[in-house]
Structure 1
C-alpha cells in the first residue's frame, strides 16, 4: 500500500505544473475484469480538450486497501478525486457511498 501511494505521488509531482485557468483532478476507475483499480491524472486548460494520463494500477483488489490509499492521497494532495465504476458501493470503514449514480461513460 505505501509503495502504491509513493509511486502515485512521484508520478503526480512530475506531471503537476500549476497553470492559470487549468483544472486538475484524479480519477480512480474500478476495473472488475482485470480485478484492479486504475488511477489517472486529468488536466484541462480553459477551452482545450481534457488530457488524461495513467498514473498507476493498484492490483490489490480490496476496498479496504483502496480506502487507505485514498486517505493517504488526500493527505498529500488537495486535488479532487472522482470515482468511476463504484456505483452504490460503500467504503468498508466509514460506510459512506463511494459513487451515487453512474456516469455517462459507464
Structure 2
C-alpha cells in the first residue's frame, strides 16, 4: 500500500521548511556563483584531494573548475566538474588574500 504525498511529507518532516542540507547547498552554490572568474583552492576527501584553479561556472550543485594544480601532476591544466557536496574545505581569493604558488 502506497502512502499519499501528504502522509509521506509529514513522515519525512518536510513541512517545516528546508533541511540543513538544502540550506548549505544553496549558500555554497551562491558563494561559488558570485566568485566566477576567481581562483580557489579546494580540499576534498576523495581522489584527487587538492585542486587550485579558476572558477569557470556553477550549475546547480556542480562547480566547473579550470585546474592549475592538483596533487596529481598528470591532471594539472584540465577542467573538472566537482560536486559541491564533496568539497570539505575551500578558500576563494578575495583581493586581499591570495593563494600562493604551491608548486614547490
Structure number with bigger Rg:
2
Q: TM-score range by the shorter chain?
A: under 0.3
TM-score by length of 1: 0.25
